[in-house]
Amino acid sequence: MKDTSRQVAVIGYAMTKPKAKDFRDYRQYAAEPVFAALDELGLKPEDMEVWTVAYNERTVPDAAISPHMADALGGLNAPVIPTSTACAGGGVGTFSLYNYIASGRYDIGASVSFSQTDLFYPMETASAAGNFTDVDYALGLTHFHYSFLREAYYQQEYGTQDLRADAQWAWQDHWYARRNPEAVRYHSPMPTDDTLKAGGIQGMRIRSAAGRSQACVLIMASEDVAREYDLPVYIDIGLANRPAYMGAHFHYPHPDHRECDISHQPGTGVAARRALELAETKVDDIDVFQVHDLTPSDGFMQMESLGVAKPGEMPRLALEGETAVKGRFPTNTDGGAIGFGHSSVGGDFHSKVIENMKQIRGQAGERQVDGAETALAQAYGTHQSIDAVAIMRRCF
């Protein structure tokens, strides 16, 4: 960790609206929120000194993303840095931009993320074009199997097979989603408690994330530049990695992971410690959390790995209402991945940062957490082998 660095702030953002289908070219799709965010700030693409572009390589037919996106964004000749790192790609791209600005090399830039599942999406869950083709897929294990095994392992280890806590977490996400105009309302009317506790595929689907195409952008600047704009928010980011192969999630030799299994997410904890150190704060100071919760058990694991609760304690806290807007740990106030949508690289990190921007600015409406000044955003990729955590704080 370096001794000194400049403060970095998010000064603007935008995201695409939810649509059932969108057949625009991926360049047009990704560029739309960029121009919207820049217009809001009175800026032009050429005002950005550096760009990062995160994308899901399984949804893009082109290999050379940098020149394609530079052209789509207005004929740029600035650095355009591509990132393809699964669902945490937005976090990795934002981490890169954060360091470019913190280092003093650049003063202002944009972090873009997009994923269009409508165009080309062979789904690694159904083909060998995935992340574990060397071992897991050859053994017949897909992403879906991994999610199911991890959730079942957690439920067995901590005695949550009755699904009461999972149902409560999902209900809370749906409650938030119905109060967020950016969210996708997958179920209407509000799911009942019995429906949310149902077993089998039907119950799992109503408690789990559905796919969503999305593109987002964050406009980021040094502290000096940020002072020129309304309501900037400081951001600090930590990253960590874990092996992709599922078998290596047990007794992995690295000391941060050695005592863990698939019901623990140590990468999240490492990334959080790094971000908290940069922000000079601690998890007890966080007012609102946005975590990656493709299933409720995912959410439990992330919160526990962040240090909010000990392993196995989060289900009880959810049942007690502590993730609600008036609870001790307001969580996924945008609706979470369950109500907001799993957009892979397109927004699994950026959308959480955007929700935290709204919370810290006091612009979240009925979802607003009273006095929110410090917020946390977390996302993972390749089933918990790439972890990004951002700490966001009110500026000035």
- CB contact at 8 A, 268 and 240: yes
What DSSP element (H or E) covers 234? strand 233-241
What CATH topology corresponds to 8-122+210-394?
Answer: Peroxisomal Thiolase; Chain A, domain 1 (3.40.47)
Each domain of the chain, given as residue ranges in start order, spans 8-122+210-394
Q: How many CB atoms lie within 10 A of CB 377?
A: 30
- CA distances for 274 relative to 30, 164, 236, 283, 379, angstroms: 30, 34, 9, 12, 15
Query: Whole-model pTM above 0.75?
Result: yes
Radius of gyration of the chain (CA): 20
Per residue in 152-193, pLDDT (tens digit) is 999 999 999 999 999 999 999 999 999 998 887 656 688 899
- The pLDDT score that the predictor gives to residue 316 is 98
Per residue in 30-45, pLDDT (tens digit) is 999 999 999 999 999 9
| C-alpha–C-alpha distance, residues 283 and 268, integer Å | 13
Beta-carbon contacts of residue 271 (< 8 Å; ≥ 6 apart): 238, 239, 240, 378, 387, 388, 389
- The pLDDT score that the predictor gives to residue 118 is 54
- CB contact at 8 A, 327 and 321: yes
Give me 263's structure tokens. 């019901």
DSSP state for residue 2 in the 8-state scheme: -
| C-alpha–C-alpha distance, residues 311 and 297, integer Å | 12
In DSSP terms, which residues pair with 81 in a beta bridge?
52
- The pLDDT score that the predictor gives to residue 20 is 65
| C-alpha–C-alpha distance, residues 240 and 287, integer Å | 23
Low-confidence ranges of the chain (pLDDT < 50): 1-3, 120-128
Helix (H, G, I), strand (E, B) or coil at 237: strand
Task: Burial-class residue 6 by CB neighbours within 10 Å (0-12, 13-18, 19+).
Answer: middle
| C-alpha–C-alpha distance, residues 304 and 86, integer Å | 23
